[in-house]
Amino acid sequence: MSKRSRILTLILPAISTGVAYYLAYLVSKSFFSVSLYSQAMNRDFPLLLAISYLLFFLSRRIWTFIALQWLIIGILYIGNAVKLSFFGGPMVPDDVYALRSLLLILNGWQRLLVGGALAGLAGLLLFNFHFRRYRAWLSLGLFLALGLILIHYPKPIVAALDKRVGNSVWDQRSNYLRRGATLYSLHETARFFRDSESPPDRHKALSAASSLLAGSSSNVSTAAQNPRNVYVILLESFWDPLLLKGIRFNQDPLPLAFRELWQATGHSTIMSPVFGGYTANAEFESLCGFPVVHDDVKFERRLINAAPCLPTILEEHDYDSVVSHPNIPAFWNRTNAYRRLGFKTYWSKNDFNLDDMNRGFLADSSLYRQVMEKSAQRKEPTKAVFNYIITYFGHWDGSNLYPRSESRPQVIHCVGECTTPELESYANAAHYKAKELMAFLDDLRRSDPDALIVAFGDHLPFLGGNFQGYVEAGTLAATRDQFTPEMFLTYVSTPLIIIDGKRGPVSAGSLPLYQLPGRILELLGISEPTIMSYAGSETGAGVRPLWGVHFINSAPDKIEMCKETKESPTCSASTAWLDQILTVGIDIFQGKQYSLPVPTKSSQLAAARTAVAAKETAESLVR
């Protein structure tokens, strides 16, 4: 090779990196409104260039290097832009655990695109490397050294980078825009290893548990009641479209019967831990009574132990427990998670007749009907049942928006200009969800008048990237860092309906979702100590933690934001309470379970299930 050819070969990675970086940045800015700050480019591009040269020296051929490099840059920059647009935050290391579920939920070209990118990345990584040159071995050694440093010395790395480029726990979007994808990924990978949750020791767990129970308001005994059926209905993406104040519809999307029932509850709402997705986190809070604070799915890797959650506690009181969701059973690791939470029966997609589909989603009316038919055919149909129903219709479906079958024609229209396509589509989905819910509740209250019925929306709907529909309506700002306290409350609040048998609708105010299972036990007259007791502290009333921030909704029109830059006495108290309940939660769901309440049948059942799960895991590893 001539000297000129060698020079051209050596500058090729710089040219390739520059072109790929520019194109990825252009796509991010043009299609997803994600624009890096200028200082981010100055920090990020040299780092990306250095990594590109290491890849280049490892590669067999130039074309395979370019393919691998462009694929990595596309995943890093365009992938982050997509997630920022959809969910308001960039990709984090925990997203690796959600890859399987992501592939399951995508359809057609979307699944091919993501699956092909991942397969191409794996293939190029395996077959691209050249180890016959010392430069390749040197590059490999540098990559390995970087990985080992991130794993074994994350604390000084995070401290140095936080000091250099800053860090806002609650505003990850700004972190990304200040750093760029490459620096952000390395920075947060180091933080991931630094912040890996170690289960607390006995003293720390019991100390936190004692502090929580000392302030608990859930220790008041109530008269025990005879077991009665309990129905908890999680409504996919269910919300009130009339809260889009700047959008006018030709009629109220929600039927009058629903409005009247909701009004009878005092317009109760729950405050969910998630927005636009991650339904499993809403499930966890509503079943186990502990808040979710991380930007990941609790069921995937933070639920290791069997725990005495609502199904296990009700089993102790002679209930049968059934969970129903017409989705793929393994999605969000639900098969394992439901077993650990104590459900005896899990009816998933293959257990239902898919007779009334809205594209890929079973209609709520069909789901309700089939759940009741199957419940009547249980081995012990006369036994009280805890029926936990997770609807699927109303899920956003990419280019199909919120799909409906022909039997559910469009009846809601925007009056005037309505530029975000999801607005009309969602309003119609919400209309039919509420209509089919009311028909089910009418039948249920006639056939089972003593039943305790709870229905709530799991999270707000996705209405376009960067909160486009909410911005158009003047409901939310385009980014979380611009949210007012009132916007944060809107961001998490969905309708809550509680019907206490013949007593009728119950007013619950604005309830953090993790306090719902404690409220259910209270209405059932179950008053012994449970893990739900920990969330009953007066200090925790109205506290809604999110990723890196929490707020306190202590009274109507009184919302206090608690960020790292503000520490009022109220925020200091709620922050201390959160630290305690998170410590106890890690102990119960991932640790040695020192903080389980005094031994009861439910905690003994959970301990037995934990032992079985550990044995199954060990046997699978041996196989």
From 194, 216, 237, give the residue that closes a domain.
194
**Residue 215, pLDDT score:** 66
Closest Cα to residue 313, out of 348, 289, 283? 289
Residue 155: pLDDT band (50, 70, 90) is confident
* Residues 131, 10: Cα–Cα separation, whole Å: 18
From 175, 194, 213, give the residue that closes a domain.
194
Is 289 part of any domain?
yes
Is 211 part of any domain?
no
Is 70 part of any domain?
yes
Same domain flag for 312 and 247? yes
Lowest mean per-residue pLDDT among 53-62, 126-135, 213-222: 213-222
Same domain flag for 150 and 277? no
Is 310 part of any domain?
yes
Same domain flag for 263 and 126? no
Query: In sequence order, which ranges of 132-201 are alpha helices (DSSP H)?
Result: 134-152, 154-165, 172-179, 181-194
* Residues 515, 445: Cα–Cα separation, whole Å: 25
Q: What is the CATH number of the domain that holds 395?
A: 3.40.720.10
User: What are the distances in angstroms from CA 34 to CA 18, 180, 181, 249, 619?
Assistant: 18, 11, 11, 31, 47
Residue 70: pLDDT band (50, 70, 90) is confident
| pLDDT tens per residue across span 549-585 | 889 987 777 888 888 655 788 888 888 899 999 999 9
- Over range 203-225, report the average pLDDT: 72
Is 154 part of any domain?
yes
Burial class of residue 524 (count of CB atoms within 10 Å of its CB; 0-12, 13-18, 19+): buried
| pLDDT tens per residue across span 259-296 | 999 999 999 999 999 988 889 999 999 999 999 988 78
454: helix, strand or coil: strand
Is 223 part of any domain?
no
**Residue 223, pLDDT score:** 45
- Over range 199-210, report the average pLDDT: 91
**Residue 583, pLDDT score:** 93
Residue 353: pLDDT band (50, 70, 90) is very high
**Residue 622, pLDDT score:** 35
Same domain flag for 240 and 123? no
What's the domain count of the chain? 2
Is 595 part of any domain?
yes
Residue that the structure tokens 């898919």 belong to: 354
From 194, 219, 246, give the residue that closes a domain.
194
pTM: 0.80
Same domain flag for 76 and 180? yes
Same domain flag for 165 and 241? no
Residue 116: pLDDT band (50, 70, 90) is low
Same domain flag for 131 and 236? no
Same domain flag for 168 and 292? no
- Amino acid found at 519: R
- Over range 351-368, report the average pLDDT: 93
Same domain flag for 421 and 514? yes
Same domain flag for 182 and 281? no
Q: Are strands 385-390 and 320-324 parallel, antiparallel or unpaired?
A: parallel
Same domain flag for 183 and 272? no
Is 522 part of any domain?
yes
Same domain flag for 267 and 406? yes
Lowest mean per-residue pLDDT among 101-105, 343-347, 373-377, 436-440: 101-105
**Residue 100, pLDDT score:** 64
Query: Containing domain of residue 278, as a range?
Result: 228-540+591-622
Contact (Cβ atoms closer than 8 angstroms) between residue 489 and residue 263: no
